Amino acid sequence: MCRWLAYSGSPIQLETFLLEPRYSLIDQSLRARMGAQTTTGDGFGLGWYDEYREPALYCSIVPAWNDRNLHELAAHVRSGLFLAHIRASTGSPIQQTNCHPFRHDNWLWMHNGQIRGFNAIKRELTLAVDPDLFAAIEGSTDSELMFYLALSLGLTDDPVSAVERMAGLVEYTAGGHGIENPLQMSLATTNGEQLWVFRYSSEQPSPSLFFSTHVRTLQALYPDNPRLAGVSEQARLIVSEPLSDLPGVWNEIPEATCGIVLAGQAELWPFRPRS
Amino acid sequence: MCRWLAYSGSPIQLETFLLEPRYSLIDQSLRARMGAQTTTGDGFGLGWYDEYREPALYCSIVPAWNDRNLHELAAHVRSGLFLAHIRASTGSPIQQTNCHPFRHDNWLWMHNGQIRGFNAIKRELTLAVDPDLFAAIEGSTDSELMFYLALSLGLTDDPVSAVERMAGLVEYTAGGHGIENPLQMSLATTNGEQLWVFRYSSEQPSPSLFFSTHVRTLQALYPDNPRLAGVSEQARLIVSEPLSDLPGVWNEIPEATCGIVLAGQAELWPFRPRS
Amino acid sequence: MCRWLAYSGSPIQLETFLLEPRYSLIDQSLRARMGAQTTTGDGFGLGWYDEYREPALYCSIVPAWNDRNLHELAAHVRSGLFLAHIRASTGSPIQQTNCHPFRHDNWLWMHNGQIRGFNAIKRELTLAVDPDLFAAIEGSTDSELMFYLALSLGLTDDPVSAVERMAGLVEYTAGGHGIENPLQMSLATTNGEQLWVFRYSSEQPSPSLFFSTHVRTLQALYPDNPRLAGVSEQARLIVSEPLSDLPGVWNEIPEATCGIVLAGQAELWPFRPRS
Amino acid sequence: MCRWLAYSGSPIQLETFLLEPRYSLIDQSLRARMGAQTTTGDGFGLGWYDEYREPALYCSIVPAWNDRNLHELAAHVRSGLFLAHIRASTGSPIQQTNCHPFRHDNWLWMHNGQIRGFNAIKRELTLAVDPDLFAAIEGSTDSELMFYLALSLGLTDDPVSAVERMAGLVEYTAGGHGIENPLQMSLATTNGEQLWVFRYSSEQPSPSLFFSTHVRTLQALYPDNPRLAGVSEQARLIVSEPLSDLPGVWNEIPEATCGIVLAGQAELWPFRPRS
């Protein structure tokens, strides 16, 4: 099980939610309490937006807790919109091109979950990618292929619809190969302004997904961190698993739901794959 | 320009031709005298046969001259049939899954050269791979795709014919996209018993390819190396560039030629792509 | 907490005890059931003896379970004497020169445990290293420094005495700085013929250490592994933590004990630091 | 021969001088025209100052030209004071802790050159490091040891004097061991506000060192780069080798000279080791 985190709000040092000794993504990955795998040391990725249109990426196949460069970056880089992902491979190689988030132009994409029976339908799904995008696929994961399918199906114009069609295509293709309940996903995608998150699986329960509640509960989570004191009211943290057990901090996103975050406002909509 | 070396003969420590301070593949790559690129530090790979049917692989994205593990291995492992490759990327990512030699079952494959305009025809070539082999492609290079095309076209049954058909398919597909002179290759493939090497390009001159002449000239190349004293008469070294300038050591393989090495005997045949 | 394994017996493929999906060192490190740290992904090392006097080393800072080269090597290399170590750093950097086992000439050394207050006494201990050996220290760990102290104190002539004096020196030096109970160790060292293991700590309990009992119980641990069927009666496995919970397979080595393994015979002696 | 670059001026994207396809540090290292080694792929390091007192570091042992993270960082990070270094090892291991620049508190240090006969005097020099600083030494290079010697001799109070005393100590110690002409150095150090550079060797010629002349000549070097158009008059680039052959861009710093850069003003002083 991968783990991920997305932040949208006033600019903050990346380490705040990534590296705090308690209640951070990397602390969590070391403990790996809730996932199916016993550890999550199969690659790390970070994507952040700054003054440029195209986000920056940092990927590493050294475990995040050992990666000095990551600690340096996280302490020095600030961003108002960033995604971080810790990978637990379900089979594909441990290499930078398989690390999330994936980037295309100004878009980022990251995923927790899998396509069951992926090897059996990989070719058919690959053929469904827009020929003009085909050569841009760099890695070998199901997650990156889902991104390129969504891009081929209109992600940049209508993200929710494109993800619904991508999910529909995966389920339809798998069905043709006799694969039941193929899709499991909690995913996030963003164009640098708006953030879309999705929780869905062909067969429930889906991989978990949580929103932070009010920014004051976040601040209470890190009482010793002065950086959080100045965070705007609109700050939002969305995580695949809660960073703490504290009550009141996290709202679980329901099954089969899409969340849209813009300027700190989050809307939830039902999510349904379609063809 | 990549560089490679294939050895067939009585078992010898790998370091003999890989790491000698003069006249070895890695020494050569540090100097990089003849290639188009100014260095070749984009990954290293080694495949060797021993008592098992499937060969062993060692790949690294650290430059070969700095890789301690490679030095250890090369000093301790002996083999009577091994391939070594130093990569100079023509664009695809530096990662282990892009390092040569590539392996499928008991076969190895390595390549120097390129498919021009690869991104434009990658999708069409990928579709030509046998669907049952599709999911086994791990990397993103033209070289690995050439291997899977050859496998799809019968490499394990008739290697020369399969490589001719692969080359024909690449030229035909490129032609359909208006790409002229798409193929450049010096390549080697083996099933652990026999070794096939090819020198060809759509437009000459092709990447170079050389056979060692008699084993006594090899021994003369390394007069201080006792290991070579005991090497069998059948020992053959095939290299993309000569490891030395000494006269009499190397025979250049002509343009558009296939060489077949079995039990120290080498036969040369004309090579012609076909559909 | 690091984990390690030493094997002495008839030559066997390294993967047998390293990579079996159940009951192997790497499987164990993924689960990390008994140690203080939550994972052990801070570097891996392997040292093995073959026909040469000096053993071969393989070290990696990629987690062992992800390291393809390690899987290849372990499947192809056989040895009758090898050490393997999975590191959990207690602070020093994750780099190859900090991976165990450490090598000097034909000797190997690996350690689980630590010197408490190491930074405070590192300089004084470093000064106690034989000046002729000083420049050979490559990394920055307490473990490697313990090795060079033992070498300086006569390891190659009288290993037990040298380790006792090393332990005495560490305790004496720490005492001078007011550091209580400084030493914790389960360690192994070998010259390629004989194997010495030690369990000791200034304050008990010490890091654990276990011998395999009769080879038939080892064979029973891997009933489906034909390689073990042919293992000699003298085969011995020594591990920092048991690879299984099965009763009868492992004998715990008592506190403050040195074990000497030669030709399958193991003798246990009391261990006492001395000045 | 290592290569390095130091920039002081109005904040600019790091890639400007690091990664431009012509006339940049990494382009230069690929070509490696002037150095003794044939390539410089033994590690890369980058240190930059921003709003925090302690500079950020990025180090990598993948060759700089292949390092995707470096390209990302260099495109997104701006700084008004940064150091970059490409290493060509003279023997010590390729690992992050041996990459320059080295950092201590708010200070950075990088070096091109070597101490001849280093292994023979490493112990004696190590003993001369302030015991309170001893445990902070992380790597095994002569360059880092020179930094800790300079720190022990007052670098933070009087940098020029401390470097003169460090050089004197190295020469004195080497002399005691019969090593002639031990020191070769072009080095840079900074506290985040002021920048000191040194060119010296016991036996001339010393490793080279160049200042950019007026900022307009720099701008002329990159006529297509709009970033340089806005650079302040005070911008200064100091390099171990010129990034171009263009006349008028570079002033060579004389033998045995120290340069002090503050707010774009550079002063040159004679440098003389002293005890």
pTM of the model: 0.93
Which range (B133-147, C14-28, C261-275, D149-163) has the least confidence? C14-28
| Mean pLDDT (chain C, rounded) | 90
Size of interface C-D (CB pairs under 8 A): 41
Average pLDDT score over residue span B244-268: 88
Q: Residue A193 above 80 pLDDT?
A: yes
Highest mean pLDDT among A58-72, B62-76, C21-35, C166-180: C166-180
Selected residue with higher pLDDT from A169 and A221: A169
pLDDT band of C273, cuts 50, 70, 90: very high
Q: Residue A241 above 90 pLDDT?
A: no
* Residues of chain A positioned with their CB less than 8 A from the CB of D52: 75-76
> In Å, how far is B264's CA from the nearest CA of chain A?
37
Residue C36: its pLDDT value, please?
A: 39
In angstroms, the Cα distances linking B218 to A201, B74, B83, B228, D261 are 63, 19, 17, 8, 57
Q: Do D134 and C140 touch (CB under 8 A)?
A: no
pLDDT band of A195, cuts 50, 70, 90: very high
- Residue B236's beta-bridge partner residues? B8
Q: Please list, in sequence order, all residues whose beta carbon lies within 8 angstroms of the beta carbon of residue A73, skipping any fewer than 6 positions away.
A: A14, A46, A58, D56, D58, D73
Interface mutation vs chain A, best among B60, B97, B121, B126, most A CBs within 10 Å: B97
Q: Residue B106 above 90 pLDDT?
A: yes
pLDDT band of A40, cuts 50, 70, 90: low
Q: Do D38 and B30 touch (CB under 8 A)?
A: yes
Is residue D91 less than 8 Å (CB to CB) from chain B? no
Residue D34: its pLDDT value, please?
A: 40
Residue B33: its pLDDT value, please?
A: 40
Q: Residue C54 above 50 pLDDT?
A: yes
The fraction of chain D above a pLDDT of 70, given in percent, is: 95
How far, in Å, CA of A173 to CA of A167, rounded?
10
Nearest Cα neighbor of A150 from A104, A182, A84 is A104
Q: Residue D236 above 70 pLDDT?
A: yes
Residue D243: its pLDDT value, please?
A: 83
How far, in Å, CA of A163 to CA of A149, rounded?
9
Average pLDDT score over residue span D146-168: 98
Residue D40: its pLDDT value, please?
A: 63
Q: Do C123 and D134 touch (CB under 8 A)?
A: yes
Which residue in the set A38, A41, A61 is minimally distant from C31, CB to CB?
A38
Residue B40: its pLDDT value, please?
A: 63
Residue C232: its pLDDT value, please?
A: 84
pLDDT band of A42, cuts 50, 70, 90: confident
- Put simply, the chain B residues between 43 and 62 with a CB less than 8 A from any chain D CB are 61-62
Is residue A89 less than 8 Å (CB to CB) from chain C? yes
Q: Do D66 and B41 touch (CB under 8 A)?
A: yes
Q: Residue A141 above 60 pLDDT?
A: yes
Q: Do D66 and B38 touch (CB under 8 A)?
A: no
pLDDT in tens, D8-67: 999 999 998 888 767 788 877 766 544 444 556 788 999 999 999 999 999 998 888 889
Is residue D117 less than 8 Å (CB to CB) from chain C? no
Selected residue with higher pLDDT from C148 and B265: C148
| Segment (H or E) for C123 | helix C118-127
How far, in Å, CA of B61 to CA of B97, rounded?
10
Nearest Cα neighbor of A143 from A45, A241, A28 is A45
For residues A251 and A210, the answer to whether their CB atoms sit within 8 Å is yes
Q: Residue A88 above 90 pLDDT?
A: no
| Phi, psi values for residue B249, rounded to 5° | -90, -30
Q: Do A41 and C38 touch (CB under 8 A)?
A: no
* Cα maximum dimension of chain C: 55
pLDDT band of A154, cuts 50, 70, 90: very high
CA C101 to chain centre: 7
Is residue B89 less than 8 Å (CB to CB) from chain A? no
Which range (C32-46, C65-79, C125-139) has the least confidence? C32-46
Q: Please list, in sequence order, all residues whose beta carbon lies within 8 angstroms of the beta carbon of residue A208, skipping any fewer than 6 positions away.
A: A34, A186, A199, A240, A241, A252
How far, in Å, CA of D104 to CA of D148, rounded?
9
Residue C31: its pLDDT value, please?
A: 64
pLDDT in tens, D206-226: 999 999 888 888 888 777 777
pLDDT band of A36, cuts 50, 70, 90: very low
Torsion of CA B46, B249, B255, B158, to 10 degrees: -50
Give, as one character, the DSSP assignment of residue C156.
Answer: T
Average pLDDT score over residue span D185-192: 98
Residue A32: its pLDDT value, please?
A: 52
pLDDT band of B190, cuts 50, 70, 90: very high
Q: Do C122 and D134 touch (CB under 8 A)?
A: yes
pLDDT in tens, D244-263: 777 788 899 999 999 999 88
How far, in Å, CA of A159 to CA of A191, rounded?
10
Q: Residue A35 above 50 pLDDT?
A: no
Average pLDDT score over residue span A113-119: 95
Amino acid in the structure at residue D7: Y
Is residue C63 less than 8 Å (CB to CB) from chain A? yes
Q: Is C270 helix (H, G, I), strand (E, B) or coil?
A: strand
* Residues of chain D positioned with their CB less than 8 A from the CB of C60: none
Residue B39: its pLDDT value, please?
A: 56
